[in-house]
Structure 1
């Protein structure tokens, strides 16, 4: 997951009905395209060139007064405004989009210029882009592509000026870019060391500037201002296709096989990776997108730590989480081992403050250790539903109550066994225990067990044994009362997230090697976990030698298939095809696997775990986009069936790709005895077709390269860059205006047209959430980890309906659920929740 920020989108957001043709948004429609994320200028621009001597379109003759001047370089250069030249520039872009009515746009832009005595060239280009974006509507969504062309021209001009080449070529020397940014300590020297100059020249010839035309303005602006490499003054150097090529070269740098032809094959793999990225068939995780080929930073999105029940363990975990957060990773922290409030310390009763003080420490860490000033750290804390501190835990993010017991900057998540959900169903009692006391009296922790089948298993036997042991103190509550507190917190804060631990561990392909206690920040990563423990500290002269037993500190490396582009062929060329997926997924799995070896992780036990299991998380985004393009209604049974079929296909290709990679490079070290090895992975998912049976047999012989393979992350930012819808989520609305502090802009759904409008029309909060659960359950069968799955509900939803939604998710076999996103829509508009 990226820790891409996973909080709800900034707002407020104003939904809109389909506007009439030609309807324009209010004037302040976009952020200044000349301004970077921190408000600094990216570079100067030369979009309006000075008139040449004798130009027939010059706006004045000698002796005439000039009505408007175009200024540059902080007003130090100026030239007379050339109306005809600007019109020709607009017409060149319009030629790509002849369906757009350009007359009013041109009048508006000319009016903006000619009303002024002087206009800065940057401000003129800003206005050109803003005016184009303001005209985006249902009947003319192409205006966002029009705006993107204007912004591309600006990037080309600025890069050419900074790198000293002709802007008409769009892209300059790729070798020169590598050398220049390495000299400036922006790029690392890895690519220059790994590849010869001839290979880099060959790589540079792969660049296809035409693929820049795939970007819509919003995605291009995000890519340019957040991820493209600039110098330290934020001047433009790297262009979009060079970012894709740099990622491809960086991830393939060690792919030189021994013997003749090894380097040629590596360049072929570079070409395949560039093909996949530049066509926007896939995206890499945001840390990889931002850091690959650059100095500093790591490439993985998701980490999970297991906090030990000791002072040393708690503070060591805090330090490790700070180090991960500094490097750009989102963290999940499992605190189920930490003793509860009132527990004994060194035999002294009523000494422990419980988990809340330690969570507040993590909250402060998340705030104070930011990611190079770009965003705060992000930490999710997980606690078991039977932990004696669970009630205080559920109140952590509430706005009322004692603020000394609140932690507003962490995300809360609850680990739930089947037995608790059964108690909620029957309105039964539930018992809360101190894990330290259970361990002291029974010799084991409850969380170290799970139910192997629905309705029976080891966990419930152990739980009932603890309940029956009168030596162990407990607090008795009604299960439904605990669940009410969960739902109150969810409607106010969106948290806690839900983690259904029995289903998770039943479907864990590596259960032979450990347990899964919790998930990560975005609830899609499920891997074996264990705490790191201090073994001894020895003084040796002036040195202190510390020995630790490394636990499983979870790392996951993410990338996602763009379903809106990779699944459907071009219009008129048939229906569902698999040739893009069949070509795409093998190179995507290889790229993910290479991240494991290239990563410079900030926590040593994370490196050990990463190489032990070689876990990857191949995911998807653009599900709603794909349904709209195919004309499938979200609430239909057809959508459920399609989800099942498509994700089975993606899973098959992913398992096959990892198996082929294992034949080439070897299996992950814990493969023997895993569900992959025994075939239980395939049997548990009812993969009985001849194709699956053959693959199962091949995996038993050849192994797989990666211990976990699939995870569907939120990927909001990368989906925006690729011009599609986020993850498996529905869109907020087909068309709306997004309001932020200093601007208002129209937002249209990807691929919006009069044909796709009916499939986008309802938007997230009016779509049947029970249909979403069923759809996701069909998908979950094929995802060995989990899926960042949100509920979209009105804030006035009946408690019984929200409860039924959670119970349905659990019964349908979902492993996790993410945010409960609530919205003040009229309950009468919510057909699925109105009964």
Structure 2
């Protein structure tokens, strides 16, 4: 997952985009994503009245009544909460604007200047922050297809502001842009903002060497929105939210932190340099918890977790506690509820005693609301249930707005675990049977969910299911499979949930099926790893202490980072076809960084640490797919997009497997490598990797192992993609160009890299591109991803049930493992070419 799934990732696309920035003063904390949109000029940019060529302002409030030229003062510029003021000088402000404009000579700033001058000169006094807010707002307002550079113009204004504030707080000359990195480490460690890890791990000389790696020119890669998000949510500040850390220092701190235990020491600084190169050039991003917490005090580095809830009072409440601890540390959670007995089941032999899964899910709902993620957003929990569970119908209604609200849980996200057999029953409009898992276990001695179909169309799950159906001792409820699927689709169109988890395909393609089973996914449906419940073994009293012993289950952790396809694959400007991309250099350092997260992580749940060390799973992903297609001149609906998806992700997968294998040679393979599909070669055979290159790599992996039990997963990446100035995940953009409504102004939003050349490839937004083409594209990609992909459907709310059903059936037939939201939008059905036939 996002990287951590943010609250914004759980909302409609239009809401996510319009709430991308806080609506407060420049250095205020972010507001919740669902807050009412307010005027949001964003953080103040450079103080346009403090240019170097200006006359130094007086330092007292006893101000002259005329400017140095003898003109009467019409307007004052106020600073420091009104305690300091200087006379407004139009020429000085114009010079400040011209300095920024010099980088963008193609922009016509005449009207911009008139607007800014008018804003100031109509007033007796203008606060300096309000002035620079207006400078930024006016720059943003001019963004369009022919002049997208206004977004960078606004970013330059903001950068200067950051530089100025940091230099003031850290006592160095603003013109240097960056001050002493060693001094920053020492200062923020003294303030308990940074941990002491970097100061302990590196000598002063090494930190000075690291400081020399900083390249302020790379700050110019940011667009305004991305820079704003980075600065207001992730850069290290003190308790008063004053600016200390600057963007390049965040990248360097992450690099130093993740490489601190690398050996030999002589090579360590080289690895720090490689990690800084990858991050500072925006070739990749780390997961949001890593971006937020690396090098700072408190917090963990991983995005998402998955728990398996045991069917016992102790297990249910222990899981609730563990989920609360994860949420407190900033993680999202997937919770598999399939073992919990159904409503009306027996408890200790007393029939009709169980309330089923709904009351326990409501408890998780309260936990998600009560235990927020580091005070920034409410907790996020997805609950998974098998489609044969007797409570599935009540489960599908959990998020609906109608019906008995006592049976609703609006703050969790629902997901359904679906076997091939159910989809076949939907196809033939057959019957489907619902069972109580506890009763199945009591009578048969095993759980249905512990089996899956080894091959499509045959296998052990269907045999076990039919055995349960044939056993008259086991109570069941009979429904039509198509009726159950209709309930799924109704809920999806109203709430976006449930997500879909195709359990047979997941487990068939699980490279570690020798060591366990995958029952569900995480909050964002991209993590697929072995799972099992943690169970209490005994509690004993020892003196005045209670000693509890538990058998640790597989509590899944996902460690994420993502390649920025819009920068890492397309050649840098001016280099033409000399290089095709930076992937061969990028992916080895990215895999190493992810692997180091595992050892450095301070996880809030002990069994998660055990699982993390056991499998050493990582999730290398991507974002910027639509951005890349536009830059390459490939239409979304074209077969060329499918072919390119296949070829590109095969290459990324090859380089990722190769990098993990190289790490295994250096540091050792993960502990249960022996017997895995990596070891036996089944991983490569199942994906038809038959080229000489792949066969050679498979042979090397069999000998050397891989460092990480799972390697790839593609998360939603909404926040980090915005920081890096690209499109989210593998999703199409919402719209090539639109206006975001604020309280008292409208700001244009343009797709990344939008120009007259890229416009035709962006013109069809998410709700107009062919969703069947998206499925085919994603199915080609899925072959090369050993875990899964956060894949959304974008459909009109008026879509015919038959079309939505066929979308789901196509996704299942094409071998997709999961699907994420069904995002519906009220658009004119006549505009929906792909769904109107």
Question: Normalising by structure 1, what TM-score?
Answer: 0.96
For residue 765 of structure 1, give the secondary structure of its aligned residue in structure 2: coil
Superposed counterparts of 1:46-195, under 5 Å? 46-49=47-50, 51-52=54-55, 60-61=67-68, 64-195=71-202
Alpha-carbon distance between aligned partners in 2 of 1:46 and 1:132, rounded to the nearest angstrom: 15
After superposition, give the CA deviation of every residue in 1:342-384 in whole Å (9 maximum; x if it has no partner).
Answer: 0000000000000000000000000000023210000000000
> Contact between 1:45 and 1:121, CA under 8 Å: does it hold in 2?
no
Equivalent residue for 2:61?
Answer: none
Question: Normalising by structure 2, what TM-score?
Answer: 0.95
After superposition, give the CA deviation of every residue in 1:485-528 in whole Å (9 maximum; x if it has no partner).
Answer: 00000000000000000000000000000000000000000000
For residue 414 of structure 1, give the secondary structure of its aligned residue in structure 2: strand
> Contact between 1:30 and 1:133, CA under 8 Å: does it hold in 2?
no
Equivalent residue for 1:25?
Answer: none
Superposed counterparts of 1:613-692, under 5 Å? 613-692=615-694
For residue 766 of structure 1, give the secondary structure of its aligned residue in structure 2: coil
Q: 1:134 to 1:59 in 2, by over 3 A?
A: farther
Equivalent residue for 2:821?
Answer: 819
Q: 1:564 to 1:64 in 2, by over 3 A?
A: closer
Shift of 1:552: 0.1
Equivalent residue for 2:26?
Answer: 34
Superposed counterparts of 1:260-659, under 5 Å? 263-571=265-573, 573-575=575-577, 577-578=579-580, 580-659=582-661
After superposition, give the CA deviation of every residue in 1:300-326 in whole Å (9 maximum; x if it has no partner).
Answer: 001000000000000000000000000
Shift of 1:36: 2.6
Alpha-carbon distance between aligned partners in 2 of 1:7 and 1:740, rounded to the nearest angstrom: 21
Cα RMSD between the aligned structures?
1.9
Shift of 1:76: 1.0
5+ residue gaps, structure 2: 32-39, 59-64
Alpha-carbon distance between aligned partners in 1 of 2:149 and 2:87, rounded to the nearest angstrom: 32
Alpha-carbon distance between aligned partners in 2 of 1:658 and 1:561, rounded to the nearest angstrom: 16
After superposition, give the CA deviation of every residue in 1:405-436 in whole Å (9 maximum; x if it has no partner).
Answer: 00000000000000000000000000000000
> Contact between 1:247 and 1:289, CA under 8 Å: does it hold in 2?
yes
5+ residue gaps, structure 1: 16-28, 258-262
Shift of 1:441: 0.1
Alignment equivalent of 2:207, drawn from 190, 200, 204: 200
Shift of 1:11: 4.4
Alignment equivalent of 2:259, drawn from 210, 235, 252: 252
Shift of 1:287: 0.1
Shift of 1:53: 7.0
Alpha-carbon distance between aligned partners in 2 of 1:722 and 1:47, rounded to the nearest angstrom: 27
Alpha-carbon distance between aligned partners in 2 of 1:577 and 1:818, rounded to the nearest angstrom: 35
> Contact between 1:564 and 1:626, CA under 8 Å: does it hold in 2?
yes
Shift of 1:745: 2.2
For residue 255 of structure 1, give the secondary structure of its aligned residue in structure 2: coil
Shift of 1:103: 0.3
2:20 equivalent to 1:8: no
Q: 1:507 to 1:743 in 2, by over 3 A?
A: farther
Alpha-carbon distance between aligned partners in 2 of 1:498 and 1:743, rounded to the nearest angstrom: 40
Shift of 1:45: 6.6
Equivalent residue for 1:24?
Answer: none
Q: 1:452 to 1:119 in 2, by over 3 A?
A: same
Alpha-carbon distance between aligned partners in 2 of 1:12 and 1:694, rounded to the nearest angstrom: 48
The count of residues paired between Structure 1 and Structure 2 equals 816
Alpha-carbon distance between aligned partners in 2 of 1:177 and 1:43, rounded to the nearest angstrom: 23
Q: 1:397 to 1:628 in 2, by over 3 A?
A: same
Shift of 1:268: 0.1
Shift of 1:37: 3.0
Alpha-carbon distance between aligned partners in 1 of 2:608 and 2:252, rounded to the nearest angstrom: 28
Equivalent residue for 1:217?
Answer: 224
Alpha-carbon distance between aligned partners in 2 of 1:531 and 1:156, rounded to the nearest angstrom: 50
After superposition, give the CA deviation of every residue in 1:567-600 in whole Å (9 maximum; x if it has no partner).
Answer: 0102464459555100000000000000000000
> Contact between 2:45 and 2:159, CA under 8 Å: does it hold in 1?
no
For residue 620 of structure 1, give the secondary structure of its aligned residue in structure 2: strand
> Contact between 2:12 and 2:823, CA under 8 Å: does it hold in 1?
no
